[in-house]
Structure 1
Amino acid sequence: MTSRYRFAAYLTGATAARTGDELSGPAVLLLGVGASGAVAGSTLLAGLTVAAAVGGPVLGALLDRSPTPGRILAVGLIGYAAGLAAITALFGAVPFALVMGIAVASGLLAPAIGGGWTAQVPALVPAQKLGRASTLDAMTFTAAALVGPGLAGVLATAAGAPVAMVVAGALALIAAPFAWRLPRNREKQRPRFFAAATVLVRNPALRQSTATSTLSCVGIGMAFVCYPLIGEQRLGSAGYGTLLLVGLSVASLLANAVLSRRSYSPDRAVQLSTVAIGIGLAGAAVAPNAPLLVIAVALTGIGEGPQLASLFAVRHREAPPEMRAQVFTTAASVKIAGIALGNAAAGPLAACSPAVGLVAAAGMQVVAAVAHPLWTVRKQLVH
């Protein structure tokens, strides 16, 4: 009963934190665009995102070294909320460089919302239930991706971007007490900072899943830029294109709900889900009408949800217990960098044709899936 209660509390806190994170990105963008134009908004968002990629390894090492990792997560969430509040209050009242500095500092704390939470799951459930717990944990990301951006748009339209920023910070604060009560860390070792990077490279299963998912994320980053343009081109409005992302999240959530009730090989599932994502992206590029476009996007979601759940399962299985948090946050930082690279690469391609951008995104899935078996070659040579 206690274990169930604790994991239910974990899911509640993680969902609140991740919804706040998914809401904060669009809210920061809308705040900057509404007050100073597209350049200010995109620059603020870039600062927040890039800093999150940099901060992951450091925060992960701190979590692994601390006997009370939940309290570090709670402090990180409070700091992130404070950063969002400061950006909201100071934007337009002080030099933009100062606001940008606050955005970067806040972004360094963002890994407390993602991998830092996930690394605590093994302390909450028995080992035989870790696979299902990983799937449920992945579903909190999907639910947040479904609710956060839409909530940002509704709040910004109805009450203004500052209100969306305040709500994002409030969700982070709501999650803080749930983080504070997470179990103590029983491991006594003190891993080196950035030691997880070595583990991710040397462990064949971790190397394989991280490389495959990062390549896949480059393509997913491309697709997120192209979907609104495809919506404008084929559905009559960029807003409808944004709704395609909602459909993707719904399909992802449903796929993980089914997956949570079945046993499977997470290593194989990473590859198969990447193939499904690629087929969906290719289908969206050539879909001649709205129904087929929606089906293609749904197929992408059916692949994306299980890919994340399988990644979590591999990391829980392979990561050394004394540096589990660092492995999760470092791998998350690499994936964030992959998405950012895809976002940047998609611009020129989408300007030429959003369909071309989606074909390129599908091509990245092919590369990721075909290369998937190759990342374990080193293990075979050594042994």
Structure 2
Amino acid sequence: MRDLLGVPALRAYYPAATLARLGDEMVAFTLVLLVLERTDRPALAGLTGAAYALPAVVSGPLLGTWLDRTAARRTALGLNQAVLGLVMLSLLFTAGHSPAWTTPALAAVAGVTLPMVSGGFTSMLPSLVPSQLLPKANSWEAASFGAATITGPAAAATIAATVSVEAAVIVIAVTATLSIFAIARLPALPAALATDEREPFLASVVGGLAHLARTPRLRASTITSTMLMGSVGVLLITLPLHMTALGAPRSSAGYLWTALELGSVTTAVLLGRLQTRWRPELVVMVAVAAYGLAMTTWPLATTFPVLLVLAAATGLFEGPMLPAMFAARQQYSAVALQGRVSTTAASLRVGAAALGQAAGGLLVPIIGTHAALLAVAISLLAAAVLGRLSTPRDATPTHTSHSSAL
């Protein structure tokens, strides 16, 4: 870590990115709790979570193309946080007190710029970090995501249980506001694409999508990680509902996410350099398959403490996936494509999570939470298999600008 701290830009980058992600990681869980508490309607809770995430499917490729062309990244990241804070405060007055459609509609407003929180930040790394430090930077980038995912659901669960879910909503708004000040300390970066290198905007959008689809190893990583997020969306609905079977309050599900991410961050940092020994897309697929196998034990847990331990152990298998996913984007994409690739891939992941939440809200009450947990585990194994099937054995990278370092 000492060599990374020697890069001045990173001393500003990690606090800003982590603080922004902290608020974002509280949102999905808090929205579910808020809607369930005020309406007791799982389908509406799932629809609201989906509405928060689905706009990113369309906006991600557009935002990524714009990011590759602009020097105003800090402004864009700050505006995203301002919109999030305003929407969360608005939900305090509308959720359960107005027509049902207003809650998902407001959530959708915040979701339009959601890819900024993940892809918008991550796409900056190749421009901030020397290529020889990228593997380590990716590991700490995964730790940034993990720290936010550890703290966010736990904070939301604790605040909802000890104060109220409304207080958790207010904390999200405050966190979003504080992140704007942290983002202001980020260095200004020039546009990745010079004016004379730019093709028409829509052609550039299509080019980013085509690059993801036509690059076999990048495609394999993207398919696997996107399906993973679809499973996570189902889990966001399943876990709060499953708590009653274990004699625990719904808010306790937040601690399961914390345990899962504690395990994940541990191996993300300790084993992140696996991406330098094996191709990153293989690390992604193996990690997701191991994650699914470990999750098959979850329906067997009969008490909350046992499930908590299983969640922490499961996270250990997931850990190497995130650094490897970042490495796949960097290895197989030119610097001028990083904005498009990062936000487009992020939008696919967010969209899959949204569909998972919507499906979970409809199906979990019908099939039961035990069956839903097993279905999530099986879907993770299927994600790894489909990722492998999408990669021909003789596939070669389309671009390997950082491969010598990675």
Question: Into which bin does the TM-score normalised by the smaller protein fall?
Answer: 0.7 to 0.9
Return the alpha-carbon distance in structure 1 between the equivalents of residues 230 and 126 of structure 2. 29
Counterpart in 1 of 2:188? 183
2:198 maps to a residue whose letter is R
* Aligned partner (choices 388, 398, 401) of residue 373 of structure 1: 388
Return the alpha-carbon distance in structure 1 between the equivalents of residues 251 and 38 of structure 2. 21
Secondary structure in 2 matching 1:183: coil
- Would you say 1:207 and 2:219 are equivalent positions? yes
Q: Is the 8 Å Cα contact of residues 289 and 384 (structure 2) preserved in structure 1? A: yes
* Aligned partner (choices 278, 282, 303) of residue 292 of structure 2: 278
1:365 maps to a residue whose letter is L
- Would you say 1:334 and 2:351 are equivalent positions? no
Return the alpha-carbon distance in structure 2 between the equivalents of residues 332 and 85 of structure 1. 25
Q: Percent identity among equivalent residues?
A: 27
Q: Is the 8 Å Cα contact of residues 87 and 107 (structure 2) preserved in structure 1? A: yes
Counterpart in 1 of 2:401? none
Q: Which runs of 5+ in 2 are unaligned?
A: 399-406
Counterpart in 2 of 1:8? 11
Q: Is the 8 Å Cα contact of residues 77 and 109 (structure 1) preserved in structure 2? A: no
Return the alpha-carbon distance in structure 1 between the equivalents of residues 288 and 53 of structure 2. 24
Deviations 1:128-159 (A, max 9, x none): 11111111111111111111122223333444
* Aligned partner (choices 24, 27, 32) of residue 21 of structure 1: 24
Q: Is the 8 Å Cα contact of residues 55 and 351 (structure 2) preserved in structure 1? A: no
Counterpart in 1 of 2:324? 310
Distance 1:81-1:345 versus aligned 2 partners, 3 A rule: closer
Distance 1:99-1:241 versus aligned 2 partners, 3 A rule: closer
Pairwise CA distance, 1:32:
4.0
* Aligned partner (choices 352, 369, 377) of residue 354 of structure 1: 369
Deviations 1:198-252 (A, max 9, x none): 1110111211100111223333333444444554435665555543222111111
Distance 1:382-1:226 versus aligned 2 partners, 3 A rule: closer
Return the alpha-carbon distance in structure 2 between the equivalents of residues 102 and 339 of structure 1. 18
> After alignment, is 138-147 or 294-303 more displaced?
294-303
Pairwise CA distance, 1:361:
1.9
> After alignment, is 158-167 or 267-276 more displaced?
158-167
Distance 1:95-1:291 versus aligned 2 partners, 3 A rule: closer
Counterpart in 2 of 1:85? 89
Counterpart in 1 of 2:282? 268
Q: Is the 8 Å Cα contact of residues 50 and 358 (structure 2) preserved in structure 1? A: no
Deviations 1:15-72 (A, max 9, x none): 1100111123333344444555536655443322222333222221221110232222
Q: Is the 8 Å Cα contact of residues 77 and 173 (structure 1) preserved in structure 2? A: yes
1:182 maps to a residue whose letter is P
Pairwise CA distance, 1:170:
2.2
Aligned length: 383
1:47 maps to a residue whose letter is A
> After alignment, is 295-304 or 345-354 more displaced?
345-354
Return the alpha-carbon distance in structure 2 between the equivalents of residues 243 and 275 of structure 1. 23
Pairwise CA distance, 1:340:
2.8
Q: Is the 8 Å Cα contact of residues 248 and 301 (structure 1) preserved in structure 2? A: yes
Return the alpha-carbon distance in structure 2 between the equivalents of residues 185 and 129 of structure 1. 21
- Would you say 1:247 and 2:259 are equivalent positions? yes
Return the alpha-carbon distance in structure 2 between the equivalents of residues 366 and 374 of structure 1. 13
Secondary structure in 2 matching 1:113: helix
Pairwise CA distance, 1:288:
6.6
What RMSD, in angstroms, separates the aligned Cα atoms of the two structures?
3.1
Q: Is the 8 Å Cα contact of residues 67 and 340 (structure 2) preserved in structure 1? A: yes
Superposition pairs of residues 283-302 of structure 1, within 5 angstroms? 283-287=297-301, 293-302=307-316
Pairwise CA distance, 1:273:
0.3
> After alignment, is 160-169 or 39-48 more displaced?
39-48
Secondary structure in 2 matching 1:319: coil
1:185 maps to a residue whose letter is P
* Aligned partner (choices 122, 126, 129) of residue 126 of structure 2: 122
Return the alpha-carbon distance in structure 2 between the equivalents of residues 163 and 234 of structure 1. 26
> After alignment, is 331-340 or 148-157 more displaced?
148-157
Q: Is the 8 Å Cα contact of residues 115 and 328 (structure 1) preserved in structure 2? A: yes
Q: Is the 8 Å Cα contact of residues 27 and 161 (structure 1) preserved in structure 2? A: yes
Pairwise CA distance, 1:100:
4.7
Distance 1:354-1:99 versus aligned 2 partners, 3 A rule: closer
1:264 maps to a residue whose letter is R
Distance 1:34-1:332 versus aligned 2 partners, 3 A rule: same
Return the alpha-carbon distance in structure 2 between the equivalents of residues 171 and 338 of structure 1. 26
Counterpart in 1 of 2:402? none
Q: Is the 8 Å Cα contact of residues 69 and 185 (structure 1) preserved in structure 2? A: no
TM-score by length of 2: 0.82
Secondary structure in 2 matching 1:114: helix
